[in-house]
Every structure is written in structure tokens, then in C-alpha cells.
């Protein structure tokens, strides 16, 4: 087996170690477990509630929320951590390209320039650069080492940069000039992305604030309006108009109506939290999956708020 084939085999082994399938399977298991408990509470087989006075529908909704949180939480936070790692790698990529370009201006080949530049410090990018330099030292062509590097790191920016460098090297152009141009373009893209995220962070804050305002509004209705409805119903039943009130199905069933209103509030907050979290992810990175972390946080706030209410 040649050095190139050996490195490709190592890359395939590295890709098989991806933890994303395990995280998704773990989240699916939590969803199935908590969903099953929610179903048992709904049909009355078990009575596992967070409060002693909870009815079956309340226990079902709370466990259903736990099931949703168990599904989106692990994957959402794993994806956020993965994105932070990608950003940390891409952040130092322009520095590495600039150093390789400077080494190339002294007459070094692309392979020699990569090996010389690998002695620098590039944060989380350093181990991958050292692997690439070691592959070149073992006899792997520079362009193939770059392809393997892009396959290991596997980020859109790195794949785009490597494709440009490889094509330039194969065409026989001045790689140093191309590296300088790509380094400058990558840095500009990162600055533009930072400005966009700073701008979008304001809208994300508005989403969280609007969710909290929604919860406060429900709390105000719960402690003022709904109790007044129950008091008015009691006064009608005990006062002079009691007979008329007794003839009204709405007056007789008013406590049940109030309870159903509270359940409707809870369902509305669940939907609100899920939707707002997904919207926050779309505004932050343009991807729905990145909003799962925000949805998890909002659902935690929802559960705690309704336990207090």
C-alpha cells in the first residue's frame, strides 16, 4: 500500500469516528423513552408528574416536552460545539495561507512552503497542518496532501480554498500570488460574517425578550383574570342569580373552562418556544438545525415558568 492509499484509509477511519450518528441515536432514544412515559400518563397507567395535583393531560404534556427536549437538546448542543470548532479552525486559515505565500515568494515549492509554515502556531488548525506536513515528508504530493487535509477538516471554506490552490498548482500558475489572494478573500469573508452575526444577535435578543414577554403576559392572566372569572362564577352561584347561573352550562363548567385555558396557554408556549428557537438559528447561521439549541433553552424556560405558575 502506498503512502497516499494509507493516508486515504486513515481519513476514512477518521470519518467513521464521527459522533453525529451516535448523538442522533441517543436523542432518538430519549425521545422514545420520554414519549412512552407521556403516553402511559395519558392513558392513566402511571402517574409520574412533577406536582402531585397534575391531571393526566398535564403529565402527558410535560413528558412530551421532555421528549422533545431530549431529542433536540443533545444534537443541538453537539452541532453548536462542532460549529465553534469549525470557526476556530477557519479563523486561523488566512494566517496559514499568508505564511505559505510568503515562503513561496522566496523560491520554495508549494510542498516545501507547507512544511516550513507548519512550524507556526495556528490554534486548532495546527495539528491538521502538522499532519499535512508529515504526509508531504513521507512522499505524498502536496496537492494530494491538501485534498486529504480538506477531507479531514471538512468545512466549506477549507474545501473551497483547497480546490482553488490545487487547480492553480495543476495549471502551473504563480501559487504564491494565488495564496495571497485567497488569504485576503478568506479574511474579508470572515469579517463580513462577523458583522452579519453581530447584527443578527440583536434580532436573536429580541426573540428571547418577546418570548419572556409572552410568558409574563400569561402569568398576569393566570394570577388576575382567570381567578376573577372563578370568583365571579362563585358569586353568581351563591347570590340572588344562582338559579340562573345554574341553568348556564358555561357557569357550571367554568372551572373546567379555566383549566382548559391554562392547558391552551401551555401548548401555545411550547409551540412558541420551538418556533422562536428555530427562527433564532436561521437568523444566526441560516440553518434550521442550528436553532435546536435555542429551542431547547426556550423549552427549559417554559417548563420552569409553568411549574412556578
Instruction: Tell me what pLDDT residue 175 has.
Output: 78
Say if residue 11's pLDDT is above 50.
no
- Please write the tens of the pLDDT for every residue from 254-276: 778 778 888 999 999 999 999 99
Question: Average pLDDT in the 120-138 region?
Answer: 86
User: What's the pLDDT score for residue 26?
Assistant: 92
Q: What is the DSSP string of 183-222?
A: HHHHHHHHHHHHHHHHHHHHHHHHHHHHHHHHHHHHHHII
Whole-number Å distance between alpha carbons of 302 and 294: 12
The residues spanned by each domain of the chain are 92-173, 191-309
Give the span between the Cα atoms of 196 and 293, in whole angstroms: 20
- Report the pLDDT value the prediction gives residue 268, as an integer from 0 to 100: 92
| b/e 156-168 (16+ beta carbons within 10 angstroms → b) | ebbeebbeebbeb
Q: How confident is the model at residue 189 (pLDDT cuts 50, 70, 90)?
A: confident
DSSP state of 223: I
Distance separating alpha carbons of residues 309 and 130, to the nearest angstrom: 56
Work out the angle at residue 219's Cα, subtended by the Cα atoms of residues 215 and 224, and round it to the nearest 5 degrees.
150
CA dihedral 127, 131, 134, 135 (to 10 degrees): -170
Encode pLDDT of 73-114 as tens digits. Answer: 999 999 888 888 888 888 888 888 888 888 888 778 888 888
SS3 73: helix
Cell numbers linked to 40: 402511559
| Cα–Cα distance measured from residue 68 to residue 295, given in angstroms and rounded to the nearest whole number | 10
Degrees, nearest 5: CA angle 80-89-95: 150
pLDDT of residue 5: 52
Contact 249, 269 (CB under 8 A): no
For residues 73, 77, 82 and 86, what is the CA-based torsion angle, rounded to 10 degrees? 130
For the chain, give the longest Cα–Cα distance.
103
Amino acid at each position: 500500500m502506498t503512502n497516499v492509499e494509507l493516508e486515504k484509509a486513515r481519513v476514512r477511519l477518521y470519518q467513521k469516528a464521527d459522533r453525529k450518528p451516535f448523538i442522533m441515536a441517543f436523542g432518538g432514544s430519549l425521545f422514545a423513552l420520554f414519549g412512552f412515559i407521556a403516553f402511559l400518563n395519558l392513558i392513566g397507567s402511571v402517574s409520574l408528574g412533577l406536582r402531585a395535583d397534575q391531571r393526566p393531560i398535564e403529565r402527558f404534556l410535560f413528558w412530551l416536552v421532555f421528549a422533545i427536549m431530549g431529542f433536540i437538546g443533545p444534537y443541538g448542543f453537539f452541532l453548536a460545539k462542532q460549529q465553534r470548532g469549525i470557526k476556530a479552525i477557519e479563523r486561523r486559515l488566512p494566517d496559514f495561507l499568508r505564511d505559505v505565500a510568503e515562503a513561496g515568494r522566496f523560491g520554495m515549492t508549494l510542498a516545501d512552503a507547507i512544511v516550513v509554515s507548519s512550524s507556526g502556531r495556528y490554534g486548532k488548525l495546527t495539528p491538521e497542518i502538522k499532519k499535512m506536513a508529515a504526509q508531504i515528508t513521507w512522499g505524498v504530493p502536496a496537492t494530494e496532501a491538501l485534498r486529504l487535509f480538506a477531507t479531514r477538516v471538512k468545512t466549506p471554506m477549507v474545501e473551497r480554498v483547497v480546490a482553488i490552490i490545487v487547480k492553480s498548482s495543476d495549471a502551473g500558475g504563480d501559487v504564491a500570488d494565488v495564496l495571497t489572494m485567497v488569504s485576503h478573500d478568506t479574511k474579508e469573508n470572515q469579517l463580513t460574517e462577523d458583522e452579519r452575526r453581530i447584527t443578527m444577535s440583536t434580532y436573536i435578543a429580541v426573540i428571547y425578550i418577546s418570548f419572556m414577554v409572552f410568558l409574563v403576559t400569561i402569568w398576569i392572566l393566570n394570577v388576575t383574570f382567570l381567578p376573577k372569572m372563578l370568583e365571579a362564577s362563585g358569586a353568581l352561584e351563591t347570590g340572588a342569580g344562582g338559579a340562573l347561573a345554574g341553568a348556564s352550562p358555561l357557569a357550571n363548567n367554568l372551572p373546567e373552562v379555566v383549566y382548559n385555558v391554562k392547558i391552551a396557554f401551555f401548548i401555545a408556549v411550547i409551540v412558541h418556544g420551538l418556533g422562536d428557537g428555530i427562527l433564532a438559528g436561521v437568523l444566526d447561521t441560516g440553518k434550521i438545525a442550528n436553532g435546536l439549541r435555542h429551542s431547547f433553552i426556550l423549552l427549559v424556560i417554559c417548563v420552569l415558568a409553568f411549574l412556578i405558575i
